[in-house]
Amino acid sequence: MDTKEKILQAALRLFAKDGYEGVSVRKIAEKLGITKGALYKHYKNKQDIFDSIVNRMEEIDAKRTKEFNSLIENLNSQEQLTKQQIINGIKQFSIANFKYWTEDEFAANFRKILTLEQYRNPQMAKLLNKYLTNGVIKNAQVIMARIFVGTKYEHKDTNILALNYFGPIYLLMGLYDQSEDKASIERAVVTHIDYFMESFG
């Protein structure tokens, strides 16, 4: 790992712990055992570091969005799939998404930064909305529409169904961060998805 990447990763971890406002360039440099001057050879300032983190996240998100769209296209194109097969595919994707935002160090720390800063930094609030609230709800709406097509729930409000589906998963992300028994939180995610799907069976 080169120095520029070490700076980005160290800053990300500090931002996730102390918030963006609570971290200075000096603190990042000290964490790495380098001088501020050495850091400035790679980044203009703290905002430049954060912008690089956001750019990295955008690249990752573009790939994940493509995977999500492929999943939906695949489910829509296979008319022979049973409802249970559709549910299983969506369930696997939802669990993988939960694991990504909680277990992947980069994604988990990015989520924590946005959560910490959302009420004092409009940029952070906008990013949280994009990646973990409204953005995910929109994806969940697509999922709801696919699951309930041709059923008595087809004309239900997909926004409300999406909130009912994703709300507990989002809450469990926060519980996961604080829990010593992380496996139990992961099981709770699976159980929630099963209960939700069964309620519309």
Q: Kindly report the three-state secondary structure assignment for every residue of 139-166.
A: HHHHHHHHHHCCCCCCCCCHHHHHHHHH
Which sign, positive or negative, has the C-alpha torsion 130, 106, 173, 147? positive
For residues 201 and 193, give the distance between their C-alpha atoms in angstroms, rounded to a whole number: 12
What's the pLDDT tens digit per position in 6-23? 999 999 999 999 999 999
| 45, pLDDT greater than 90 | yes
Kind and range of the H or E element at 106? helix 105-117
Concatenate the DSSP letters of all residues of 50-79 into one string. Answer: HHHHHHHHHHHHHHHHHHHHHHHHHHHH-T
What's the pLDDT tens digit per position in 58-96? 999 898 888 888 877 776 676 677 777 778 888 888 898
